[in-house]
Every structure is written in C-alpha cells, then in structure tokens.
Chains A and B, each alone.
Chain A
Amino acid sequence: MNIAVNKTPAELAYDGMLLPHPRLEDWKWTNLRVLIDRPYPPRLKVAAAAKDVERLLKCDPLAKLAHARIVFVNGEFAEDYSSLPTGGDVRVRQHLTPLTAEAEPVLDMNTAFATGGVEIEIASNIDAPVAIVHIATDGEARTIATRHRVKVADGASATLFETHLGEGAYLANSVIDITVGANAKLDRVKLEIESSSAIHLAHAVITLGANVLLRDFTLTSGARVNRQNGTLAFKGENADAKIAGSYLLSGRQHADTRLVIDHQVPKCTSRELFKCVMDENARGIFQGKAIVRPGAQKTDGKQSSHALLLSETAEFDAKPELEIYADDVACGHGATSGDIDHNHLFYLQSRGIPEADAKSMLIGAFVGEAFDTISHDGVRDVLTRFAGKWLVNHKEEAR
C-alpha cells in the first residue's frame, strides 16, 4: 500500500526528498522530519567575510597541531585559507564523485546536494597530520554538504584530523569515504563543535585491507542535532579497528551515532568504545551493529557504550545488534549508565577542590578511556583540556 505523505517544508526544499522518520528501525530515536523543523535550502551560496573565517579558524583546537590544512568555507574549498601538504607523498585534489554505497538518507542527501570535496591520497609514511576543517559562517539557514575521499596506500601511514565548526543556523552534511590499504595505518580524529543551533549529519564509509591498524576517535559536542553514521568493512585478514567516541552534550542537544562493523573476512578485531556525558535535557544515542559474515572465523568484536548522566532529565539510549554467521568468533557488547559517584565527588571536595572543578575531573576521568584511543599526544592533551573545561563553559553560556 502506498501512503501519501504530506511533505514537510524541509522536504520540499530538498526537491521533495523524504527525510528519515522513526518507522525506519535505524532512525527510531532521531526523527529528522521533526528535528529539521524548517527548510535548509541546499546549494545556497553565502559569502563569508574574511574576519569571520579567520576568527572561526582560530577556534579550531586542533589548528596548531596540523601540518597541512584543507579548509572548506560554507561547503566550498577555500584555497586562500588552506595550506596544502608539500611533497609528493600526499596528493590533494578536488573531487565530487558520489559514493556508490548503499542507499541511506544522509548519503542520499549528500549525493544530491554536495558542493565541495577533496580527495587525499597518502602514498607513504606521513607523520605530519593532515586536517580538513569545515567552517560555516553566520548567514541564512541552509544546507552545506561536503564529500571527501581518503586513500591510504598499502604500507603507508597517516594521521587525519577533521574539524566541523561554525556560527548560526545551518545543516551540515558531511560524507567521508576512507580506504586503507594492506599493512597501512590510519589515525583519524574528528571533532564536531558546530554552532549550537546547527544540525550535523555525517556518514563515514571505511574499508580496511589486511593487517591494517585503524584508530578512529570522534568527539561530539556541538550542534543541536547530530547524527553520525559509520560503516566499516574488513576486506583483508588480521586488521584491527579501534573506534571510540565521546559525547559532551548539554541543553537540548541530541546526538545519535550508528556504527555498522562488517567482518567479511577472518581474524579481524574490532573495538567500539563510547563514553558519553549528558547534562540538562540532552539526549545521547549509540547504536552499534556487528555483522560477522559466513567464514569470518576468529573474529574478535566488542562494543561498549557508557553514559554519565549529570541531570535527572538527561537521557541515553543504547542499541547493540549482533548478526553472526560464523561459529568460531568472540563477540560481545555492554552498556552502562549512571550519574556522578557522590563518594568520589565528596572525596575531591573534602581536599579543597570546588564542586565544579571536582565534577570536571570526574568527567575527564570518565571519558579518558575513550580519549586513550587517540595516539597523537598533542591532540589527546588538547581534547582532554576541552573536556575539562566543558562543564564550566556550558554552564556559563547558559547564563
């Protein structure tokens, strides 16, 4: 039966494209038909003043740590603000080839409306981090869509940073397609600190070859609505993927991560670890699905998500899914949620540490395990400091 739907204003602005709603199992907690509450017209050009871009670029905590920066302003490559890598082992070029992946709402929106993207090819061992920085300047409500491709060649190694930040009300749609060749290594750190009135939708498609080591960390702290999809496929044996993330959410923020780890070949290891902190009326969601294909024996897959709820009205939902078609595997999942341990808090306070600082210490201790996935010391320190100041900062902003 075909049910006619009244399209929302946002859907009409997307040329009638249907937005996902809770009747789709993967979207049961994130109703974009409601959350995208007004049109965010795509392909809308907004001029950016240099002073705004420069100010926002300075707000990127990872700014000083990257050796090459590829900057996108309002969805378009901004050469003037970028410092491209020198030397032949990293090649950067603009590209806009759509992904040929499964049909999925975030990807579909990106395929239809992306206005900019780069392809980064890394051919050897590159110690110097390469950063892609996405800036949105204050302007009309609009959709800003970018699409990148990263290829790490066989035996190569790379460190990739991704920052998303901006001002005003906009919808950012960010897709990244990452292929890591055999015996290669990739460290990826994504920082989502979008404007507090923004919507951030992302999809990362990751393909790993044999003997790969991937360490992937995402810190989610900006945007009023965040939905991040990740699909990771093991294509070669003995690869190891560590995927970690942390939410620092307050107010009415909503963040939903959905990861699908697809063990297609034997002897691969996957670890998912999410440590999420929610204050006030914030809501965090973690959906992790592991698929073990027939023949993918000796798969070792574990996922865990842990929530620290700082208020009675904060919420966390976790949904693990396992689809296992092989018999010699070790797969597991776990989820916990709780509030700050009052004995811990009292102990710290009794030593002279004021309550807000003591809470910040305990938040830092809670997320620390996920932050340990970051191998770059400088980035781990910067983000740890960010987490340490988060509680005091968001309370001040609320005032």
Chain B
Amino acid sequence: MLDINNLHVKLADEDRTILNGLTLNVKPGEVHAIMGPNGSGKSTLSYVLSGREGYEVTDGSVTFKGEDLLEMAPDQRAAKGLFLAFQYPIEIPGVATMQFLKVALNSQRKARGEKELTTPEFMKLVKDRAQKLDISQDMLKRAVNVGFSGGEKKRAEILQMAVLEPSLCILDETDSGLDIDALRVVADGVNALRSPDRAMVVITHYQRLLDYIVPDYVHVLSQGRIVKSGGKELALELEAKGYAEFAKEAA
C-alpha cells in the first residue's frame, strides 16, 4: 500500500537534512509504530507524506497504491485514502465543523467519482460516528477545533478519520496531551477502524500508546532513518533501554 524507499528530505529554506534514507513498507491491514526521540524526523515524515509545503525531497521515492505520492497535492492524497491525524489539530475560526466535514467528505467522493452524500445521509453518518467517540452535538456545532480541549481535539481528529474512512491512517503523536481516560477513548476509536483493508502508521514518542493500539511492527527512527525494526516487544525494549542505545547502534 505504502512504499517509502530511501527517502531523503531537507527543509526547503534551510540546508538541514531531516530524513536520511528512510525505507518503510506498509501493507493493507498492518499497523506500524514509528518510535523515536525528539528531532529524529517523526513529524517530518508525517508532513511529507501528507504533502505539507516547506520540505524538499532530495532523493528516494514514495508510492501509495502504486502511484507516486509525492506528485500529488494534499487534497489528492486525501481523496486517494491518506489521512493524517495531526499532533496539534488546527483551529479554524469561522468554519463550522459540520460544513467542513461535509465538504471534505464530498470533495473526496467527487474526486473518486463516487456519488456525493445528501445532507440527511451525511448527518446520519456523523451522528453515528460521533456517538461512538463520545462527541457531543455541541462540539459539532462549533467552529473547527475552536474552543476544544486537547482531548476533544484528538477525538475530533479520530471522528474525521471515522467519517472519511481512509485506507492509510497516519497518527502523529496522537497520545500527546491526553490523560488515561481520553487515551482509552481515542485508542478505542482507532481500534474500531482497524480492518484488513486499512493500514495505520502510529508515530509516537512513548510506549504507552502502544498498550492500547497494539502494533504489528515497531520501527525505531533515529537521525532520519529507521535503525531497527521488530515486533511489538521492541517497544518494551525501547522503554527499558531508552533511545540512546539504538542511536549508538546506528552510528
């Protein structure tokens, strides 16, 4: 589904390389965790995959469902099935959550040549998904993420994911800023979306999240490349030893 091959990325306006030969292969149904210390390139990876400006790919390739992902605009990537759950979801005053969600869903459907949902169909879908994530009608009435607590923002991201039904979900530090209860709600939401057709890349700093979203594979990112890969037990090993050990191995 996703093939990242020898990816090198630098900041567009700075001579600083952030990803340094990253290779990763994700198949449908798999959940991959990417762990690494601050500055290892975790968030850059999520932004480069979702098409944020400000980065320059200097070498390597990314194919998504057989197509060159890097050639696509962010909205085309989304329509193709890629979804990034932001570490810090953006507040957009003046844009109503429901309108935003409806335009997003129907834009994607239109791009894929599918029939757009009518307002009643859309309302029914959102109501159903919101209930499962404990998201109140009041939250849906507000502007996008405006006035949401940290936990509410993360739940709103998962709601968007549940409504848009992407085939590849990238979760960027979804656990940051969440207490245990909120973490459980969010993780339950994510787990409910696991399916044989859907892959997930879970980017996290701490092992804690992986107790709730259990990955098939764990990768350690250090200085812009994957230095070790393993099963879910690798996360525990990391927690015990710390990142320094792995950085040394890489060097």
Contacts and interface: CB of A to CB of B under 8 A. Distances in A.
Given A344-B90, A365-B94, A351 B100 contact: yes
Contact of B73 (A349, A364, A369): A349
B103 A361 contact: yes
Interface string B91-129: 011110001100111011001000000000000000000
Nearest to B94: A365
Contact of A350 (B51, B103, B105, B143): B51
Interface in B42-93: 50-53, 73-75, 77-79, 83-84, 86, 89-90, 92-93
A346 to B, nearest CB: 5
A317 interface: no
Contact of A342 (B51, B53, B75, B144): B53
Contacts of B99: 361
B75 A349 contact: yes
B73 A351 contact: no
Q: How large is the interface on B (under 10, 10 to 19, 20 to 34, 35 or more residues)?
A: 20 to 34
Among B73, B84, B86, B104, the most chain A Cβ lie within 10 Å of the Cβ of: B104
A371 B179 CA distance: 40
Given A366-B94, A369-B94, A349 B74 contact: yes
Interface stretch (A87-95, A133-141, A352-360): A352-360
A369 B95 CA distance: 11
B18 interface: no
Given A346-B52, A348-B92, A361 B107 contact: no
Given A342-B53, A357-B107, A350 B74 contact: yes
B79 A352 contact: yes
A343 interface: yes
A347 interface: yes
A341 to B, nearest CB: 8
Q: How large is the interface on A (under 10, 10 to 19, 20 to 34, 35 or more residues)?
A: 20 to 34
Contacts of A348: 92, 95, 100, 104
B222 interface: no
Nearest to B99: A361
Contact of A354 (B52, B75, B84, B164): B75
A362 interface: yes
Interface string A359-379: 001101110110000000000
Contacts of A347: 86, 89-90, 92, 144
Contact of B94 (A349, A354, A357, A364): A364
A366 to B, nearest CB: 7
Contacts of B93: 365
A352 B104 contact: yes
A351 B92 contact: no
B7 to A, nearest CB: 19
Contacts of A342: 53
A352 B52 CA distance: 13
Contacts of B79: 352
A369 B93 CA distance: 10
Contacts of B77: 350
B164 A352 contact: yes
Contacts of B103: 353, 357, 361
B212 to A, nearest CB: 24
B160 interface: yes
14 contacts: A342-B53, A346-B52, A349-B74, A350-B51, A350-B83, A350-B84, A351-B104, A351-B160, A352-B79, A352-B105, A355-B73, A355-B75, A357-B103, A364-B95
Given A346-B52, A346-B90, A350-B78, 13 more contacts: A346-B74, A347-B92, A349-B78, A351-B78, A351-B104, A351-B160, A352-B79, A353-B103, A354-B107, A355-B73, A361-B100, A361-B103, A369-B94
Interface of B: 50-53, 73-75, 77-79, 83-84, 86, 89-90, 92-95, 99-100, 103-105, 107-108, 111, 143-144, 160, 164
